[in-house]
Structure 1
Amino acid sequence: MYANFIKVILDFCTALVILILLSPVFIFVFLALTIANNGQPFFYQIRPGKNEKLFKIVKFRTMNNKRDDNGTLLPDAKRLTFIGKLVRKTSLDELPQLFNILKFEMSLVGPRPLLPEYLPLYTLEQKKRHLVKPGITGLAQVRGRNQMLFSERLKNDIFYVENQSFILDLKIIFETIYTVFFKSKNVVLGQTVDEVDDLGLSRNLDSNHFKTKK
């Protein structure tokens, strides 16, 4: 009842209210990133949603496309713009995903959507994270944000799926607000996937891609 009906209504109404209340902030960030990123303030990427259905997630673009002399993209830490760092630390880069909620593709709270290429690499237990809509924030994000190892992220995602409730969602939302306002200084930006991927998902992905190309 809660997950399939009440939560959907609450998500839609809350996302609409937040967009209206934060519209001045949205417009300011939009204009600042438009200038910083040569007219490209948004970043789009295909991600798996509920029941592994693919959708296009939207975020504010916080990195430029600078490359080295060989044409290879520079590391994330070197491509973060000044305004991009501020936007990321305050999690404002996720703000456009409110439109994903209005399109019923995402929820306020749920497992963060990862790459679709990871889907065949998950165990049956790990695939449970796709039994619910992905969220703008989630249990893993308030417990460790971008510094949590993949194995712990997936455990937290599965715990959320198996214990989803209004009280748990409310707790995660309040913890998210607290984290954004009082812990943003502790956020580490520019980490590589390898630093937190203790499951080797990215390495297996690269290996499978190489075999396919070969």
Structure 2
Amino acid sequence: MIEMYKSFFKRAFDLIIAILVLPLWFIVLAIIGPIIYFQDKGSIFYNAQRLGKDGKVFKMYKFRSMKMNAPDLRNEDGSTFNSEDDPRLTKIGKFIRKTSLDETPQILNIIIGDMSIIGPRPDLPEHRELYENEEERKLEIRPGVTGYNQAYFRNTVPWKERIQNDIYYIDHLSWWLDIRIFFKTAKSVLKREDVFVTDNETKVKKINDIGM
């Protein structure tokens, strides 16, 4: 039954839920989109290259939360810098980050088939070169809009530990675990828990200038 869920029902549920939610997302787009645009006359979406199932690189959709041509800052471990005081965030950007509305365009990725509702959060393509030992196993399934690490730890653990949490999810994947992750995520989003990294000692480095 678990194998049937992994191979068929999980994707079927993703499609059904995404199609049902799509009309509601169009309402969010109609409200949030113009605000993002008129705040700095920039693009509404930030299309990020990410690693998908089996290492396939795909375009992940997000609402743009940063100023145009903002520098790309990374933590020392290579993960994306994320802070509530980040000066790169626009006013509406800080709001959609806190409420996780910036992630909602990924409903399109689910319909296309690049992502699942629940799975490992996708890494940047260059992160594949940093994988060690069994870490590349996180590419065995479709990445998710949310996942085990996002639901239970969000941004409170280092990148390498997040990968181990992703592998734990893959090894224990089931319908019941997905249900628990879904409701835990909803609770975290509503309470706005651990959205930003709060460690002020986190070292960051500037990679290049990109529009976010």
CA deviation vs aligned residue, 1:89-116 (integer Å, no higher than 9, x gap): 1111110010000000000000000111
Larger Rg: 1
- Paired AA for residue 145 in structure 2: I
Q: 8 Å contact 1:58–1:100 — kept in the other structure?
A: yes
More helix by share: 1
- Where does residue 44 of structure 1 map in the other structure? 47
Displacement, 1:74?
8.4
CA deviation vs aligned residue, 1:140-187 (integer Å, no higher than 9, x gap): 1112212321122111100011111111111111011101112x1653
Q: 8 Å contact 1:51–1:131 — kept in the other structure?
A: yes
CA deviation vs aligned residue, 1:37-84 (integer Å, no higher than 9, x gap): 4140100121110000111111000000366xxxxx386711101111
Displacement, 1:25?
2.0
Identity fraction in percent? 37
More strand by share: 2
Q: 8 Å contact 2:115–2:142 — kept in the other structure?
A: yes
Q: Distance in 2 between matches of 1:24 and 1:121?
A: 39
TM, length-normalised to structure 2: 0.82
Q: Secondary structure at the match of 1:79?
A: coil
Q: 8 Å contact 2:155–2:194 — kept in the other structure?
A: no
Q: Distance in 2 between matches of 1:11 and 1:66?
A: 34
- Where does residue 6 of structure 1 map in the other structure? 9
Mapped pair 1:169 → 2:172: no
- Paired AA for residue 158 in structure 2: L
Per the alignment, do residues 189 and 36 of structure 1 end up closer, same or farther by CA in structure 2, a change over 3 Å counting? farther
TM, length-normalised to structure 1: 0.82
Q: Secondary structure at the match of 1:43?
A: strand
List runs of 5+ in structure 1 lacking aligned partners.
68-72, 207-214
Q: 8 Å contact 2:117–2:146 — kept in the other structure?
A: yes
- Where does residue 28 of structure 1 map in the other structure? 31
Mapping 1:1-214, distance limit 5 Å = 1-65=4-68, 73=71, 77-182=86-191, 184=192, 186-188=194-196, 195=202
Higher relative contact order (CA 8 A, sep 6+): 2
Q: How many residues are paired up? A: 193
Q: 8 Å contact 2:25–2:104 — kept in the other structure?
A: no
Displacement, 1:189?
6.0
Q: Please, which moves more after superposition, 44-53 or 142-151?
A: 142-151
